[in-house]
Amino acid sequence: MKKNSPAYLELLKNGELEGRAEAAWKAMSSCKMCPHRCGADRLGGESSFCRITDHAILASYGPHFGEEAPLTGRKGSGTVFFSSCNMRCLYCQNYEISHLMSGKPVTPEIQAFCFLALQEDGCHNINLVTPSHVVPFILKALVLAAGEGLSIPLVYNTAGYDSTDTLSILDGIIDIYLPDFKYWDKAVAKRLSKVSDYPETARTALREMHRQVGDLAVDDSGIAARGLLVRHLVLPGGLSGTEDIMKFIADEISPETYVNVMEQYRPCGKAMYNPPLDRRITDQEFYRALEAARKAGLTRLDA
């Protein structure tokens, strides 16, 4: 397919983008942005599970060359890493960012500057990493950046613990959804990430994401333009429930879903105190995960 304009530009023209940003911002007075639905008055300085009040915290931003091939291309994916998270994965590979909240509070104006700088660097997209708890800040920044010429796709790079109400706000704004599907078993989700409703929530979120953007479509250069990519990190000891997840994706999302079955697990954070997370996965565990994806009928597997 040829390159198309990002979805958010049409909403910018008719004023709806600014309207959605304002509505999301006001909703932080009794926050229900994520599935925790905590009700915190974030605009008044209250916080809850995510620990973020009236400012997003930015850990880093820059071109990234380790993402999936359709996102990285030759010039990199423009990653923007937000601190904190609405999950507490005890083995998180970004533990300093998600748990320890390294980074600095930033205004929407600074975020907009970051978006535009990444575009100026030639990045193929703006890759919003861990965005679920900071959607209002992102939308405020997007209005500013798009008004100043931002015109590359937005990637919503999430752990998969997302509210369909918030996803509906993003309909027509996000071009590429990049969710994890971490666990099939709710007891495992509760023990490892403190969110027992994760499996059901992730299934619902993936259905909505696919409804909005469909299967992954790439332009004539092989760069992602629109669609869904799903990540699945293979954990030691079969904790992630890979076989069931792959079957769900193929049967209930689409057999044409682009899936990255990831083998790079390594013990981080508190993993060393929680066997079997204290070790890397074996070659056999990874090969079984790939075979589960193929057996389910998935063929678009990231190399």
Q: pLDDT tens-digit profile of 170-191?
A: 999 999 999 999 999 999 999 9
Q: pLDDT tens-digit profile of 203-231?
A: 999 999 999 999 999 999 999 999 999 99
Give domain status of residue 288, yes or no.
Answer: yes
CATH of the domain at 127: 3.20.20.70
Domain carrying residue 20: 8-296
Give domain status of residue 271, yes or no.
Answer: yes
Which pair of structure tokens corresponds to residue 182? 């971490």
Give domain status of residue 1, yes or no.
Answer: no
Give domain status of residue 209, yes or no.
Answer: yes
Looking at residue 5, its pLDDT comes to: 84
Domain count for the chain: 1
Radius of gyration of the CA atoms of the chain, in A? 18
Give domain status of residue 3, yes or no.
Answer: no
Give domain status of residue 75, yes or no.
Answer: yes
Report d(CA 153, CA 77) in Å as an integer: 10
Average pLDDT along the chain? 96
Looking at residue 2, its pLDDT comes to: 52
Lowest mean pLDDT among 1-5, 52-56, 157-161: 1-5
User: What is the value of pTM for the model shown?
Assistant: 0.96
- The one-letter amino acid code at 3 reads K
Bond into 275 cis (ω within 30): no
- The one-letter amino acid code at 189 reads A
10 Å CB burial of residue 244 (0-12, 13-18, 19+) is: middle
Report the percentage of the chain scoring pLDDT > 90. Answer: 98
State the maximum Cα–Cα separation within the chain, in Å, rounded to a whole number. 53
Give domain status of residue 303, yes or no.
Answer: no
Which pair of structure tokens corresponds to residue 165? 């109400």
- In this prediction, residue 303 has a pLDDT band, given cuts at 50, 70 and 90, of confident
Give domain status of residue 194, yes or no.
Answer: yes
